[in-house]
C-alpha cells in the first residue's frame, strides 16, 4: 500500500510539474529566430541593430507594434542554451557606436535572448494583462549550410565535382597549386597524416581564395573549410578531394580509405 501511495504521489508530482511547465510556456512564449547568410552579408550588424533599436526604442517604422507604441520595453535575458556561445551584442555595439568600425563577423553559432513586453493589439486581451515574448536569436554561419548537398553524395561524387569546378575559367588559376599537388598523389598509397594535411591545407587555401575573389565567390562545400568553428584542427576537417577515384571500395589502409572515412565523419 505504501508503495502504491508513493507511486501515486510521484505521478501526481510529475503531472503538476508538466502542467506548470506548459502553463509557463503558454503565458511566457518563446520564439526561436535564426539569422543566416554568407560572411559579409551583414548578419552581425543586422542582429546588433535590431536588438539595439528594440531595447532603446529606436525608430522602426515598418514594425507595427513599435510604431503604434505597443512595445512597453525590451531587455536582454540569459539564454536558454548554456552550451551555445553568447552573441556578443555589447562588443558589437561598442565597435559600431564608439569605435566606428565594422564588428567582427560570424565565426561560429551564437545565441542571444531578447524579451519583449508588449500590449496586445486586441482590446479584449489588454483588459487582462500585457504580453511577454522571449525571442532567442541564433546567429548561424551560412557557410555551414553549403554542406547540406553533401548528405546525398559519396566521397567520389564530391571529388569529381570539386575538380570539375576547379578547372572553370574563373577558378582555374586559383586552384592551380592544389591541383598540382593532387596530381602527384596516389590515392591507393598508404595512408599518411602529413599527406592528408598538406592536401587539406592546399584545398582550404583554394576555397578561401575563391571566397576573396569577386569573380569566383565560393559556394563550394565543405563550408567548414572556410569557417571551421569547433572542428578546427580535427581529423574531420583534414581531408580533400582526390583525383582519379571511383565509387569502388578503397583498399583498407590507403589514403583513399582515410579520406573517404573522414569525409563521411564530416
If you ran DSSP here, which 8-state letter would residue 87 be given?
P
193-212 and 176-183 helices, crossing angle to 10°:
160
Which residue carries 503604434 as its cell? 68
Q: Report yes or no on 21 lying in a domain.
A: no
Q: What is the pLDDT of residue 226?
A: 82
Distances (CA, A) of 194 to 46, 190, 255: 41, 12, 11
Q: Which of 119, 142, 165 is the last residue of a domain?
A: 142
- Give domain status of residue 217, yes or no: yes
Q: Tell me the mean pLDDT in the region 48-77.
A: 90
Tens of pLDDT, residue by residue over 132-152, are: 999 999 999 888 888 888 889
Query: Do 119 and 214 fall into the same domain?
Result: no
**Average model confidence (pLDDT) for the chain?**
84
CA pair distance 166, 180, nearest whole angstrom: 12
- Tell me which of 113, 142, 171 is where a domain ends: 142
| Structural domain harbouring 189 | 148-265
Claim to verify: residue 91 and residue 159 sit in the same structural domain: no
Q: 114-145 burial by CB neighbour count: b if 16+ within 10 A, else e?
A: bbbebbeeeeeeeeeeebeebbbbbbbbbbbe
Please name every residue paired with 77 in a beta bridge, in sequence order, or none if there are none: 113
Question: Does 15 map to a domain?
Answer: no
Q: Are 186 and 234 part of one and the same domain?
A: yes
Residues 62 and 138 in one domain: yes
Confidence of residue 216 (pLDDT cuts 50, 70, 90): low
Same domain for 73 and 180? Answer: no
Question: Are residues 227 and 171 both part of a single domain?
Answer: yes
Task: Check whether residue 104 and residue 152 sit in a common domain.
Answer: no
SS3 44: helix
How confident is the model over 162-177, as pLDDT tens digits?
Answer: 999 999 998 999 999 9
CA distance 147 to 259: 17
Query: Could you report the per-residue pLDDT of 224-266, keeping only the tens digit for each?
Result: 888 887 788 889 899 999 999 998 999 999 999 999 999 999 8
Query: Does some domain include residue 23?
Result: no
pLDDT of residue 167: 94
User: Does residue 8 form part of some domain?
Assistant: no
Cell matching residue 11: 505521478
Highest average pLDDT, of 54-58, 108-112, 185-189, comes from 185-189
pTM for this structure? 0.69
Most confident of 38-47, 55-64, 178-187, 216-225: 178-187
Express as a percent the part of the chain with pLDDT over 70.
84
6-17 pLDDT per residue, tens: 444 444 444 444
Q: Residue 219: its pLDDT value, please?
A: 65
Q: Are residues 105 and 156 in the same domain?
A: no
Rounded to the nearest angstrom, the gap between the alpha carbon of residue 85 and the centroid of all alpha carbons in its chain is 12
Residue 147 vs residues 86, 220, 265, 266: alpha-carbon distances, Å? 24, 8, 13, 10
Is residue 65 a part of any domain in this protein?
Answer: yes
* End residue of a domain, out of 80, 110, 142: 142
- Examine the domain organization and report whether 159 and 137 are in the same domain: no
Structurally, the chain folds into a number of domains equal to 2
180 and 199 share a domain?
Answer: yes
**69 and 164 both lie in a single domain:** no
Let me know if residue 22 belongs to a domain. no
Domain assignment present for residue 17? The answer is no
CB 109 within 8 A of CB 140: yes
As a whole number of angstroms, the distance between CA 31 and CA 36 comes to: 16
Q: What is the pLDDT of residue 82?
A: 92
**pLDDT at site 232:** 83
Do 68 and 135 fall within a single domain?
A: yes
Amino acid at each position: 500500500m505504501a508503495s502504491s501511495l508513493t507511486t501515486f504521489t510521484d505521478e501526481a508530482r510529475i503531472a503538476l510539474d508538466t502542467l506548470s511547465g506548459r502553463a509557463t510556456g503558454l503565458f511566457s512564449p518563446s520564439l526561436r529566430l535564426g539569422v543566416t547568410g554568407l560572411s559579409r552579408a551583414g548578419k552581425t550588424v543586422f542582429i546588433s541593430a535590431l536588438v539595439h533599436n528594440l531595447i532603446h526604442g529606436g525608430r522602426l517604422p515598418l514594425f507595427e507594434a513599435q510604431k503604434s507604441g505597443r512595445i512597453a520595453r525590451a531587455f536582454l535575458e540569459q539564454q536558454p542554451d548554456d552550451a551555445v556561445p553568447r552573441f556578443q551584442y555589447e562588443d558589437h555595439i561598442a565597435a559600431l557606436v564608439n569605435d566606428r568600425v565594422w564588428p567582427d563577423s560570424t565565426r561560429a553559432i551564437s545565441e542571444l535572448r531578447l524579451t519583449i513586453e508588449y500590449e496586445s493589439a486586441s482590446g479584449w486581451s489588454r483588459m487582462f494583462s500585457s504580453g511577454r515574448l522571449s525571442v532567442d536569436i541564433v546567429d548561424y554561419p551560412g557557410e555551414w549550410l553549403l554542406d547540406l548537398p553533401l548528405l546525398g553524395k559519396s566521397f567520389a561524387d564530391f571529388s569529381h565535382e570539386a575538380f570539375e569546378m576547379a578547372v572553370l575559367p574563373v577558378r582555374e588559376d586559383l586552384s592551380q597549386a592544389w591541383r598540382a599537388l593532387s596530381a602527384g598523389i596516389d590515392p591507393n598509397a598508404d595512408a599518411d597524416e602529413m599527406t592528408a594535411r598538406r592536401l587539406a591545407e592546399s584545398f582550404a587555401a583554394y576555397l578561401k581564395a575563391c571566397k576573396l575573389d569577386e569573380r569566383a565567390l565560393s559556394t563550394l562545400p565543405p563550408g567548414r573549410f572556410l569557417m571551421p568553428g569547433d572542428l578546427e584542427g580535427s581529423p574531420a576537417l583534414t581531408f580533400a578531394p582526390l583525383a582519379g577515384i571511383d565509387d569502388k571500395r578503397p583498399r583498407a589502409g590507403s589514403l583513399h580509405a582515410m579520406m573517404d572515412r573522414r569525409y563521411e565523419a564530416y
